[in-house]
Structure 1
């Protein structure tokens, strides 16, 4: 019984109770806000893919960029693990865990860059195959940002 009374007089318990009710009130509206934000991000991503998928060079460039980020991530991870296992970062293992994560954060940042670029490249490749082939698209292909018909007319 004394433990319960001590817990009720403890300010951290009351802070936890108040925080619980505040978080419940905040998260009641969160799904609506997150849904709108998520739809906006998805729309921006789809517009980017529709703009880039017509240009085969852009698709290839983003695919190569994803592979380069993977190699960079792999090299940084191997280098960091080598430094931790036998180099000057061995004392880092004796420090608190959050210090290790702060030191490792550049590698995690490179991993996020690689995963984002890889996702974009996969989407571009997937949507590249969804292009419709029509008579007009065969006769005058559109390259990103240029209109070949106006170039041909100015050449004559």
Structure 2
């Protein structure tokens, strides 16, 4: 009983109790809001992409430009991969990978960034071509 009275009169005990309750509530609130925010952001991005496709699908040269842009990004990705593979043949880059795997991954991060950039464009082009086929051209 004496320990309970001592704890209730100690401000540090109250701070620890209230602090961790508030932290727990904040974490629960964040985990509750993250799916809502992500869903909203993805829907906005999809709507923006579809609006862009709606205007580009009418112009054949615009579709061809997007297709060529996707192919160019693929070639940049392949060139970057071959460049990094050739750099791995030299000792300085091998030493960096042997010393720190995470530093080596950081040095190769341009490969991953370019790959994501290319895949996003490729997905856009596929969607553009799919929507292009939905055009109904009526003879007047």
2:83 maps to 79
Runs of 5+ consecutive residues of structure 2 not aligned to the other structure: 1-20
Q: TM-score, normalised by structure 1?
A: 0.69
Cα distance in 2 for partners of 1:32, 1:89 equals 43
Can you list the C-alpha shifts for 1:104-156, whole angstroms capped at 9, x where unaligned?
A: 111111111110111111111111110011235xxxxxxxxxxxxxxxxxxxx
Deviates more, 1:25-34 or 1:51-60: 25-34
Unaligned 5+ residue runs, structure 1? 1-16, 137-156
Matched, 1:129 2:136: no
1:50 corresponding residue in structure 2: 54
Q: CA deviation at 1:66?
A: 0.8
Find the aligned partners of 1:24 and 1:125 in 2 and give their Cα distance: 43
* TM-score, structure 2 as length reference: 0.76
Q: Are residues 1:63 and 2:64 paired? A: no
Change (3 A) 1:97 1:18: farther
Question: How far is 1:18 from its partner?
Answer: 8.3
Selected match of 2:101 from 89, 97, 104: 97
RMSD over aligned Cα atoms = 2.1
Change (3 A) 1:18 1:88: farther
- Measured after TM superposition, the shift of residue 24 of structure 1 is 2.7
Q: Summarize deviations over 1:5-43 as a string: whole Å, max 9, x none.
A: xxxxxxxxxxxx986664332111222222221111111
Change (3 A) 1:57 1:36: same
